[in-house]
Amino acid sequence: DTGVSQDPRHKITKRGQNVTFRCDPISEHNRLYWYRQTLGQGPEFLTYFQNEAQLEKSRLLSDRFSAERPKGSFSTLEIQRTEQGDSAMYLCASSSSRILGEQYFGPGTRLTVT
Amino acid sequence: KQEVTQIPAALSVPEGENLVLNCSFTDSAIYNLQWFRQDPGKGLTSLLLIQSSQREQTSGRLNASLDKSSGRSTLYIAASQPGDSATYLCAVNKADSVNYGGSQGNLIFGKGTKLSVKP
């Protein structure tokens, strides 16, 4: 088990472009979460999947954001028409519903919108 | 609305000192509380998880306590080392209001305490 992985680790894009990030959770974990972290702040929750079902979405997840977990394994987070305010670290975490909620985080994807 | 506050925002100590980091939360209806470590530009490393029914958890030089009724948790670090320098975050996992005792999933974080341990 190699832990939670995320790809890419860094992404620089121009305003208005679309970007997609990938998260591979720990293999036996059925829950997957996306968070966003800006400089000097704690991570903020974006959305959460149990298996392939998206069960909760934050109001931070505007219409330009979409997340999927099509087969209950890896997940993608897409941002359309990026804005400079989207610049942040995007963190993915996973957990098992059998292990009382402890979440394990990946290394994050650092997005810079120029 | 659950809010998590961490005090102090930054702390600098000499190597070898014992220290306490504080975390407070406004709603005592939590499922568990997790302490994390974050190195600059990196993801989060889970340090300790305390269930709402527990009072404390220990791992090596780390000890975390939880007083749910007063909305407080502390992280105690014994004999600090320069390698402990990082930002420490606490996060609460709110209780499931529909199915009490279950977890709704998302963590609510404080802003962290940036710790610097000087040799």
pLDDT band at A88 (very low <50, low <70, confident <90, very high): very high
Query: Among all residues of chain A, which has the CA nearest to that of B94?
Result: A101
CB A36 within 8 A of CB A43: yes
Judge whether residue A43 has pLDDT over 50: yes
Give the residue from B106, B108, B113, B114 with the most A CB atoms within 10 Å of its CB, the best one to mutate. B106
Contact A42 B110 (CB under 8 A): yes
**One digit per residue, pLDDT tens: chain B, 119 residues?**
889 999 999 999 999 999 999 999 999 888 899 999 999 989 999 999 999 889 999 999 999 999 999 999 999 999 999 999 999 999 998 776 554 445 567 899 999 999 999 99
Would you state the structure tokens that stand for residue B9, as one six-digit string? 């925002």
Closest CA to A19 of A70, A72, A87, A102: A87
* A104 CB neighbour count, 10 Å cutoff: 20
B window 50-89, beta carbon within 8 A of A = 51, 89
- The confidence score (pLDDT) of residue A71 equals 86
Query: Among all residues of chain A, which has the CA nearest to that of B101?
Result: A100
Query: Residue B16, by phi and psi: left (phi above 0), alpha (psi -120 to 50) or beta?
Result: left
| A4-39: pLDDT as tens digits | 999 999 999 999 999 999 999 999 898 999 999 999
Residue B34 and residue B18: Cα distance in Å, rounded? Answer: 21
- The confidence score (pLDDT) of residue B20 equals 96
Q: Which residues of A touch B (CB under 8 A)?
A: 4, 6, 31, 33, 35, 40-45, 48, 50, 55-56, 58, 91, 93, 95, 97, 100-108, 110
Q: E strands along chain B, which residues?
A: 4-7, 10-14, 19-25, 30-38, 44-51, 56-59, 62-67, 72-77, 86-95, 103-109, 113-118
Contact A56 B105 (CB under 8 A): yes
Would you state the structure tokens that stand for residue A99, as one six-digit string? 């292990």
